Amino acid sequence: MGKEKKEYFSVITPELLKKAYLSEMDESTLDIGEEILGENSILIRLSGLENKIWNCPLSLITPNPKQPREYFDPQKMLELEATISEVGQKEPIKVVPYFKNDEEIRFFIIDGERRYRTLQKLGHETIKVSILWEESIEDIMDTSLIMNISRAPHNPIEIAKAYQRRALDFERNPGESTRQRPTVLVAQRYGVHETTVLAHLRLLELPEEIQ
């Protein structure tokens, strides 16, 4: 039997990030203020680093504080830990780059917090990442929910809260869809029927002890 082929990925360094950013000063940026990270931050695009897999220091990764998944099944986490311990991290997490107040470029998780937590627990110093770009905060939240649901099902309350947040976004910023009900827009965005959205939202009307 031949030896297993090892995979090698370039390592993200502060110097690499600075060079990538300076070469794209005219690219898109998005001021996200306190909406997600609780601090003045700006999402930036590093298109020269997109469509590749990188080894990134865990210290440069920021979890999503509005992660749609509120419950991480302990048994599933143990199974993931056993898998990564045996075969390593096979699939990169999805991230977008941003500036913090201290002007350090970091990465915000869109998909992969379970892998991030597991690698932290196992004492790893780096994590494989795939760098993306999203046009808006709403797109970040949508992508995060869609990717999370496709990987491991959320419980109905988590989905209901995500639908509720998106409906409120549509109410505050209706754009060109002012004649459409927010629940219709949410259904269209996630590819479900409006009755599905309404049924989930009704769950949030239940007493918390029942939820």
Q: Which residues pair with 61 in a beta bridge?
A: 107
Supply the pLDDT for residue 55.
94
Q: 23, 99, 110, 30: which is closest to 68 by C-alpha?
A: 110
Supply the pLDDT for residue 54.
94
Encode pLDDT of 152-190 as tens digits: 666 788 788 888 888 887 887 766 556 788 888 888 887
Contact 8, 17 (CB under 8 A): no
Q: 95, 109, 8: which is closest to 45 by C-alpha?
A: 95
Give the residue ranges of the chain where pLDDT is below 50: 1-6, 31-35
Q: 50, 138, 35, 124: which is closest to 94 by C-alpha?
A: 50
What count of residues does the chain have?
211
Contact 165, 158 (CB under 8 A): no
**Alpha-carbon distance 85 to 105, whole Å?**
29
Contacts of 26 (CB under 8 A, 6+ apart): none
**Alpha-carbon distance 62 to 67, whole Å?**
11
Supply the pLDDT for residue 10.
87
Backbone angles phi, psi at 134, to 5 degrees: -120, 145
